[in-house]
Amino acid sequence: MSDIEIRTTGRAGRITLTRPHALNALSYDMCMAIDTAMRNWREDDAVDLIVLDAEGEKAFCAGGDIAELYETGTKGNYAYGQKFWRDEYRLNALIFEYPKPVISFLQGFTMGGGVGIGCHGSHRVVGESSRIAMPECSIGLIPDVGGSLMLALAPGRLGEFLGTTGFRMGPADAIFAGFADHFIPQSQWSDLIEILEASGNAELVAEHSETPPNGELAGALTDIDNHFSGETLGDILISLRNDGQEFADKTLEKITKNAPLSVACTIEMLHRLRGPSLTMRRALEMEYRFTHRAMEHGDFLEGIRAQIIDKDRNPNWQFSDMDVPLVAVSKMLQPLGADTLTFEED
């Protein structure tokens, strides 16, 4: 497949995304190729670890390939998108639960579906150019691909802030928020990968780790906690609107550009997930409740139209006044019954 290169080199299973012209956007076929390879390597004693990387300087993976989702969804075919998300989420769980080290090198943009394959392994490496984000609310989705797990585990109310604004984290912020583990200058990556291939020893990653340049989020956490501690979107908006400071104004501007239903559901989802019963599978099952309904009942198709297809950046969102009824949130997040996401292997 021209979009991805899968091979075994030395002691390492190697996966390289080779679609830099499209910012390595993840197609369904790419997901399934990764899934198949990782299931095979799981049982292969000759493979000690997995290395995930990507070609190009701009992005490890800027997200899922949503053009096909839009094309099928606008024709009333919601089943294709549902299958895409279902199988992608199963891959996300496979990576998170993998019994061997999974080492990812995340240059440039890592967003959406890129987070799903790049940020669930055991050793997540960022460099100078890394920018990690969950911007799904801007296209009428919610932070998915297991991103809700990391958002729910992030310090304080950082998860609500990142999920509703799509804030782009540099290397220090990504480590602080729990989306990455190690900062290693990108000039060292190719040599480190060769060492990993030859040795099969994932512990060598930590030996190359350095202190990243300063980030923004640690210093903003008090403001974030103050404004995002409310139970609902309405509570958060009231707090931001009544503040008058630069941080609140900028944050309010970002949130109010996004799909109100998505933002409200993101907040509710994180509140439901946060706690001792949180698991990756529970997070993915909760996410799938929304994405399964996103084309027919949410704003996903309108979000794609405005951002990707027509590029008018003027989406006609539901609840455009940001006053989202609780019943609308409940409907998007209610259990799916027979369509519930499961994780049985075929």
SS3 letters across 283-321: HHHHHHHHHHHHHHHCCHHHHHHHHHHCCCCCCCCCCCC
298 tagged catalytic: no
Query: Which one is catalytic: 65, 136, 173, 181?
Result: 136
Sheet of 182-183: strand order equals 4-9, 12-17, 49-54, 102-106, 123-126, 182-183
Q: Averaged over 109-138, what is the pLDDT? A: 98
- Using a 10 angstrom Cβ sphere, with 0-12 exposed, 13-18 middle and 19 or more buried, the burial of residue 282 is middle
Task: Of 119, 132, 54, 131, give the one whose Cα is nearest residue 92.
Answer: 119
Reported as a pLDDT band with limits 50, 70 and 90, residue 346 is low
310 tagged catalytic: no
Question: Which amino acid makes up residue 51?
Answer: V
Q: Averaged over 104-129, what is the pLDDT? A: 98
What mean pLDDT value characterizes the chain?
Answer: 96
Which pLDDT score is estimated for 1?
Answer: 55
pLDDT tens column, 152-164? 999 999 999 999 9
Which pLDDT score is estimated for 66?
Answer: 86
Task: Give CA–CA dist 259/304, Å, rounded.
Answer: 11
113 tagged catalytic: yes
In a domain, 344, yes or no: no
Query: Which one is catalytic: 13, 113, 121, 163?
Result: 113
Task: Give CA–CA dist 115/288, Å, rounded.
Answer: 16
- Tokens 């799916």 locate to 336
DSSP letter (8 states) at residue 2: T
In a domain, 346, yes or no: no
In a domain, 345, yes or no: no
Tell me, what CATH number does 117's domain have? 3.90.226.10
The whole domain housing 51 covers 4-339
Q: Averaged over 186-206, what is the pLDDT? A: 98
Query: Which one is catalytic: 64, 108, 170, 298?
Result: 64
- pTM beyond cutoff 0.75: yes
**What backbone torsions phi and psi does residue 181 show, to the nearest 5 degrees?**
-120, -40
Reported as a pLDDT band with limits 50, 70 and 90, residue 344 is confident
- Give the 3-state secondary structure of residue 144: coil
pLDDT reading at 45 higher than 80: yes
Q: How many domains does the chain have?
A: 1
345 tagged catalytic: no
Query: Which one is catalytic: 53, 88, 144, 268?
Result: 144
CB contact burial 179-217 (16+ within 10 A = b; e otherwise) = bbbbbbebeebeebbebbbeebebeebeebeeebeebeb
Reported as a pLDDT band with limits 50, 70 and 90, residue 226 is very high
